[in-house]
Amino acid sequence: QVQLVESGGGLVQAGASLRLSCAASGLTFIRTTLGWFRQAPGKEREFVAAITWASRNTHYADSVKDRFTISRDNAKNTLYLQMNSLKSEDTAVYYCATTRKTVSRTAGDFDSWGQGTQVTVSS
């Protein structure tokens, strides 16, 4: 059974940084493409970033490119999202997820999800 547990969210001011973590278990982590999504109140869940299993390819939403960095530590079965220069529009619940596809930006392609961690950016 796949289990994903996010942590690292919080309340910060605009311009600050946060690093989210996602601890994974119950899957062959090293062979899995992982992603971060977020969902703000009243909005659809949206793609943030994804990283292939060998970290050879990373993909970002235009809204976070050059501010966020996705990475993974296969030895620790942990996914990260470094978020810099945070903006009020980054406020959302952030979820990590796994997919069997090599790469995808579509939430429907992701099979397992964590419970989410709240990020709130005050302006």
Work out the pLDDT band at 3, boundaries 50, 70, 90. very high
Residue 28 has pLDDT above 90, yes or no: no
Write down the pLDDT at residue 80: 97
Q: pLDDT tens, 70-120?
A: 999 988 999 999 999 999 999 999 999 999 888 899 999 999 999 999 999
Q: Is 56 left (phi over 0), alpha (psi -120 to 50) or beta?
A: alpha
8 neighbors 78 (Cβ within 8 angstroms):
no
State mean pLDDT over 40-64: 92
φ, ψ dihedrals at 51, nearest 5° = -140, 135
Cα 96 to the center of its chain, rounded Å: 5
